[in-house]
Amino acid sequence: MIDWLLQGDPAIRWQTLRDLCGAASREIARARAEVASRGWGQRLLALQDPQTGQWGGGIYTPKWTSTTYTMLLLRDMGLPARNPQALQACRLLLDEGVYADGGINYWGSWSKASEACVTGMVLSICARFECRDERLDTLARFLLDHQMPDGGWNCRLFRGATHASFHTTISVLEGLRDYEKLGRSLSAPACAAQARGREFLLLHRLFRSHRTGQVVKPAMTRFTFPPRWHYDVLRGLDYFRECGAPGDPRLDDGIALVEKRRRPDGAWLLPGRYPGRDHFLMEQPGEPSRWNTLRALRVLQWWNGVRAPGAGRRSA
């Protein structure tokens, strides 16, 4: 299975070397650099408008070819930080989006309030590409100020929402995680806010109602990549892995679901895609997915190292 992953796109290959092979840092860096010059990453960079810095002719729409969603994909591919084209797009996302309330609002003419979900996306993008702009602190402060009593976030808070959203929460957690790694002025409170946000997901065992124990939405149990703004169990677990969270037994249900989705040949399928326009398809729905296999294997490897005492033996 590792050989199959290493035969994939540079975006897959370098993360396999880092997360599953324990390769030397120099080898990983060489492989990661190829994201900009070969394969999917090179194709996306070639589609950027050199004058405006946009993709798809828009900032947030059309989905999924706009600048925001293209940059999210380049983030997930691991395009190296400080890439000039990425930094141009980061500045554009900030220039067009930072609103009077401190968050990101691309719809000021009608919404009159920033959305935590999109603010989390943009913070993650800009932090991951190491955009050194003081407005990242402004976005982080907005997210910290809009954390809900249950520990999560909801982009409909300004419309009266009283319970956090899985979708908004994961985007915010990823944004605060990447911001924290930059070592900015609000890194400590960003770390604390993430701990409370993870507790929201843990209370729901990643995908269950905290009242009834039933699955909140079946879509959360399917691992679609790219996830766009949607939450699912594998995306949640990959966040727990990346931030080095402990092996809480309330993750057991999610881990069991990942294991259940594994095919006899050791791969995971791509179950489908979210409706909308793509620049191009990286993988075919219904076929074995290198993206999902990479993410599932590294989550299971992480779990084997941190699982709670007394948990059953896991194998990756």
- Long-range contact pairs involving 242-248 (C-beta distance under 8 Å, separation at least 24): 242/177, 243/177, 243/194, 243/198, 245/198, 245/306, 246/306, 246/308, 247/303, 247/305, 247/306, 247/307, 247/308, 247/311, 248/202, 248/308
pLDDT of residue 309: 56
Task: Return the beta strands (E) in 218-281 as ranges.
Answer: 268-269
Cα–Cα distances in angstroms (integers) from residue 104 to residues 16, 175, 312, in the given order: 33, 13, 44
pLDDT string in tens for the chain (316-residue length)? 999 999 999 999 999 999 999 999 999 999 999 999 999 999 999 999 999 999 999 999 999 999 999 999 999 999 999 999 999 999 999 999 999 999 999 998 778 899 999 999 999 999 999 999 999 999 999 999 999 999 999 999 988 999 999 999 999 999 999 999 999 999 999 999 999 999 999 999 999 999 999 999 999 999 999 999 999 999 999 999 999 999 999 999 999 999 999 999 999 999 999 999 999 999 999 999 999 999 999 999 999 999 845 544 433 3
Q: Which domains does the chain have, with CATH numbers?
A: 1-37 (no CATH), 40-306 (1.50.10.20)
